[in-house]
Amino acid sequence: MAQNDFVKTFDLEDLTESFWKKVVFWHVQYSSSWTGPGFLIMVTNDRKRYLIGFEDLPFGELCLGEKLNHIFQWSKDRKKYAIEGNGWKRVRDKHDIGKAFVRDDVYESFMEAYSSEEGAAMRLLDDIVGLALGTKELERFTYIRTVKFNEKFRKEMKEFKEEHERNKLLPEYLKWKPLYVNNIKDNGQFGEYAVLITKKDDDYRAGKFTILFQKPQSSPMHTEPGKEPECYILFEKSYYDVYGPAFYPEKGETDDVFGSSYKERAFLKWISFDEGDMTDYGKFLRCFKTLEEARNYALVFANANSHFYGNKITVIDKIDSKKDHEKRLKRYEAYQMFRKYYKEIIDVVLDFEYPHGTCVGPYFVISEIEERVPEISRDMLHYFWEDLPLTLSKTTQRMIEKEKQKSMKILSELK
C-alpha cells in the first residue's frame, strides 16, 4: 500500500491470499457506451474499500488476469458467477447497475443496514456495507494504475480546455444575413441567418443558425404592421455534406450561383441551401427578448459543439467552387449509371430482405449490387441509395400485407 498525493493506493501484488480472506463485498460494473468506463469495488472486514477503474484497461476485468480469476469465473451454464450461492449472495443497488455480492456471514447485517432509514439515504452499496461493518467512513484505496490514468486524463483535459478557450469562435465569425419574404428584398425582412462552414476530409460541413422575428398580433393570425418584434426565436440546423454555396442567393443571382435555371434546379434536391431549404429552420433552441441575446446564444452553442462547428482555426469563409463541382460531377455520373443499370439494381432489391433484422442494415444489399453490377461502385451507391425503391423489398412487402390485413379487419368490424 502507498500514499500518492493524498490518495491511498494499492497494486495487484497487494491482493494476497490473506487479503482475499478479508473481502466481504465486491461490485463490478462493466464498461459500456451508456455508463462509460466500468469499475470493481471491494470492501474488506477491516473497513477498507478498494477501487479498480477500468478506464485504462481495454478489456476491463479480463485484463486483471489470475489475481481476480476466482471472482469472475462463470457457472457451468454461464448464467451467473460461480460464487453465487457458494458462500456469497447477490445484492442489487437502487439502479441495478452491474453485479454486486455480499459474503454470507455479513449478508444479514448488510440487509439490516440496507433496510434502515440511514441505509436508505445512502446511494452506494459499498457505503451500506460500511454501515453494516459499523462505520460511515470506509478507509479508501485506489488502484495505482487508475490513479495515474486519472492524473493524466485531468492534465489532458486541462490542456484541451485551454486550447478550446484560445481557439473558440468570436462574434465576428457569425456573419448574420437578412431573410426576406419569398427571398425578395422589397417584401421585408422576417429574420436573419448565419452559417459556419468547416471542411472534413473531402466533404464540407455547415451549421446554420436562424433567428425569426416574432411580431405582435392584434388578434390570432393578424400581425400588427410597423411594430418591433416582441421576441426572437433561435433555430439550428446541421448539414453533414454540403453541395453548392452555403448561403441563400437573392432573386436574379440564382442562375449565376448554381449554374442551372430555377426550373432545372428544382430537380437537384441535393443542393443544400436552395430556396426550399430557406424555411427549413431545423431544431428550435430558445426564445429571447432581444436580438443580441439570440445571437450570443448561437455563438455559445457553436463553441459548445466545436466538434461539429469547428473553431477559428478550422472554420472557412466559403466553399471552394472547384471542389464543389468535382463532387457534383461524381454525383451526376453516379445517377447516370443508376439509370443505365436500373433493372439490375431493382432485381437485387426484390430478392433481398431489407430492412434486415440485424445491425448491419443495408450491407447485404449493397454487397450484392456490387457483385451483380461491377460497374456500380460503393461510392456511387452512396449518392443514390435513398432513391432506391426499398418498399419493393420482401420485408417491407410482408409488413405492408400484415398492416393491410389489420386495416381490412378493422373496417369490416366497423361496418
How do residues 190-234 score in pLDDT, each as one tens digit? 999 999 999 877 788 999 999 999 999 888 888 877 889 999 999
In this prediction, residue 359 carries a pLDDT of 47
How do residues 234-246 score in pLDDT, each as one tens digit? 999 999 888 888 8
Alpha helices (H) in 312-376, listed in sequence order: 321-340, 342-351, 363-372
How do residues 270-322 score in pLDDT, each as one tens digit? 778 877 788 899 999 999 999 999 999 999 999 999 989 999 999 999 888 88
Average pLDDT over residues 120-133: 88
Helix (H) or strand (E) holding 7: strand 7-10
pLDDT at position 344 over 80 = yes
* C-beta of residue 211 within 8 angstroms of C-beta of residue 294: yes
In this prediction, residue 211 carries a pLDDT of 97
Q: What is the largest CA-CA distance in the chain?
A: 86
* 302 burial type by CB count under 10 A (0-12 exposed, 13-18 middle, 19+ buried): buried
In this prediction, residue 301 carries a pLDDT of 97
Which region among 14-23, 42-51, 58-67, 183-192 has the lowest average model confidence (pLDDT)? 58-67
49 φ, ψ (degrees, to nearest 5): -115, 135
User: E strands of 163-288, at which residues?
Assistant: 177-180, 189-200, 203-214, 217-219, 222-223, 231-239, 283-288
Q: Tell me the three state secondary structure of residue 79.
A: coil
**In this structure, how many other beta carbons lie within 10 angstroms of the beta carbon of residue 89?**
17
Dihedral Cα 119, 121, 126, 131, nearest 10 deg: -40
Q: Which letter does DSSP use for residue 74 in this model?
A: B
pTM of the predicted structure, to 2 decimals? 0.71
Q: Residue 189 has which C-alpha cell?
A: 425582412
CA angle 303–33–149, rounded 5-degree value: 80
In this prediction, residue 412 carries a pLDDT of 93
pLDDT at position 81 over 80 = no
In this prediction, residue 66 carries a pLDDT of 56
Could you give the CA distance from residue 75 to residue 82 in angstroms, rounded to a whole number? 4
In this prediction, residue 394 carries a pLDDT of 82
Enumerate the domain spans of the chain.
Answer: 2-149, 171-319, 324-410
Question: What separation in angstroms does the CA of 214 have from each of 231, 233, 262, 289, 378?
Answer: 5, 7, 30, 10, 46
Could you give the CA distance from residue 78 to residue 271 in angstroms, rounded to a whole number? 54
Q: Residue 187 has which C-alpha cell?
A: 417584401
* C-beta of residue 312 within 8 angstroms of C-beta of residue 303: no
Radius of gyration, alpha carbons of the chain: 31
